[in-house]
Amino acid sequence: MITLLWPVVIGLACSASGAAAPPPTRSEAPFLIAITVDDLPAHGPLPATISRAAIAQAYVAVLKAHRVPGAFGFVNAARIDREPGSEAVLDIWRKAGYPLGNHSFSHLNIGRAASFDAWKTDVEKGEPAVARRMRGRDWHFFRFPNLARGAGEQQAAAAKFLEGRGYRLADVSVAFGDWVYSDAYVRCLEKGDQASIVTMKAQYLAGVDDGIAHMKAVSQRIYGRVIPQVLLTHLGAWSVATMREVMAKLDAAGAKYVTLPQAQSDPAYAAAAALPGGGSIMERTAKARNIDLSSIAPLRVGVDVKQLCR
Cβ neighbours of residue 193 closer than 8 Å, sequence gap 6 or more: 308, 309
CA pair distance 64, 243, nearest whole angstrom:
12
Position 237, amino acid: A
CA 74 to chain centre: 10
Tens of pLDDT along 199-234?
A: 999 999 999 999 999 999 999 999 999 999 999 999
Is the pTM higher than 0.85?
A: yes
DSSP 19: P
CA pair distance 1, 303, nearest whole angstrom:
18
**Residue-level pLDDT at 297:** 82
Q: Is 270 helix (H, G, I), strand (E, B) or coil?
A: helix
Tens of pLDDT along 248-269?
A: 999 999 999 999 999 999 999 9
Intervals of the chain under pLDDT 70: 1-28
Tens of pLDDT along 148-178?
A: 999 999 999 999 999 999 999 999 999 999 9
